[in-house]
Amino acid sequence: MTDFTMPSLGADMDEGTLVEWLVKPGDQVKSGDVVAVIETSKGAIETEIFENGTVAELRAQVGETLPVGSVLATIVSEQSSTEVTADSGGRATVSSGAGVKADSGPSASAGRSPATGARSEPGEPAPAAAPAVVRASPAARKRAAELGLVLADIPGTGPGTAVTLSDVETAGETKPLPTPGSGAKRGFDPESMRRGIAAAMARSKKEIPHYYLSTQIDMTRAQQWLSAENAGRRVTDRLLQVVLPLKAMALALRKVPELNGFYRGGVFEQAERVHVGMAIALRGGGLIAPALHDVDRRTLDDVMQGLNDLITRARTGMLRSSEMSDPTITLSNMGETGVEGIFGVIYPPQVAIVGLGTVVERPWVVEGRVEVRPVMQATLSADHRVSDGHRGAIFLKTLEKLLQAPEAL
């Protein structure tokens, strides 16, 4: 058996609150399945499991706030000879390959409830069984929480009687929206998020010897190519300018891989894949940087679609744990704000952050004559324990070169 534990979803997370179980004892799970919803200062995060097996025991109650690393559930892996079954009351029975059986319900020798982890004494009533899991789309769950509705009370019309967004809207027509101060749960707590950001950034500036580099990039060819490319597209299918430096940045990391990875325990761990953490400003304040996975391997259209999806889910509190725990480098794009440059603070345990400013018209010398060109400032903040200014300069130069041939991205 293995333990499914409270994940660390960033350097600023010390604990999380279990909001919802999406599995029950006896359920089969596979790597990548969302099994729980964890509330952090960054919002409700859909938390995945990364092994194949069977849920043997739920050891945390919904509503519990637990430190990172706390055991939430026990999983029997596929390789194990142990078998897990669940009775009608939601209790799991674990059978070993040798034929020895142990009931993980209230009558087990440890006296532990599978759903709560609580102990029961002889003669005391058994703890309540784990509640039935309600199948629902993420949008339906979010809307139900906003309306203060209980998913289990809503008839589902989706596949397998799953509750859909329209089911929730229908159920909510007779129920008024929660009023301010009524205790309705928000997507995230701005004050708590700000404290988390402060702790992570203070740690970064204290522990990481930053060095900073900056360059100006002529965006003429990039903008010309983008305009021509978007001319034949529907408005909803057009590419935003940010996807070009985003893809170029990921490709440049292949040449300077020491900027892509983590510094932990005094050792640099180079990442094999490029997962770019996108700094996203949240409505109402706060900042979050979930990962856009495998950017160097994706087409520009795929990057654009992935970016739109990531921003939407970040601002509606529907991110996944893998997106919060595995960014290998961060990009902070200030293009929409009008700011010309940003020198970012590295988010530990990452070792670099790239900043992009807004594109502005500047005098530019071309073949001995001065022209007005669209120019973007790109900056790099990097960890001097892992790389130096020469390697950082190669990265920025490679980024600039790639943006001069946007058709190849």
CA dihedral sign of residues 342, 272, 296, 390:
positive
Rounded average pLDDT over 252-273: 96
Count of the separate structural domains present in the chain: 2
Domain shared by 235 and 360, yes or no: yes
Cβ neighbours for 55, distance < 8 A, ≥ 6 positions apart? 23, 24, 25, 26, 27, 29, 35, 73, 74, 75, 84, 92
Give the C-alpha separation, 58 to 178, whole Å. Answer: 31
171 token code pair: 């159920």
Same domain, 123 and 201: no
- Specify the long-range contacts of residues 198-202, CB closer than 8 Å, at least 24 apart: 199/12, 200/10, 200/11, 200/12, 200/347, 200/348, 201/345
User: 240 and 340: one domain?
Assistant: yes
Whole-number pLDDT of residue 46 = 83
Q: Is 51 contained in some domain?
A: yes
336 and 204 assigned to the same domain: yes
Among 133, 165, 182, the domain boundary falls at 133
Amino acid 96: pLDDT: 53
CATH of the domain at 95: 2.40.50.100
Q: Is residue 86 part of a domain?
A: yes
Residue span of the structural domain in which 93 resides: 2-133
Mean pLDDT value across residues 343-349? 95
* 129 and 215 in a common domain: no
Percent of the chain with pLDDT strictly greater than 70: 78
- What mean pLDDT comes out for the span 352-369? 95
* CB 350 within 8 Å of CB 274: no
Which of 133, 150, 177 is a domain's end point? 133
Last residue of a domain, one of 114, 133, 152: 133
Question: Residue 316 belongs to a domain with what CATH number?
Answer: 3.30.559.10
* 158 falls within a domain: no
Residue 97 belongs to a domain: yes
User: Is the residue at 180 inside a domain?
Assistant: no
124 in the same domain as 20: yes
- 392-402 average pLDDT score: 98
Apex 178 CA angle, 174 and 180, nearest 5 = 155
pTM (two decimals): 0.68
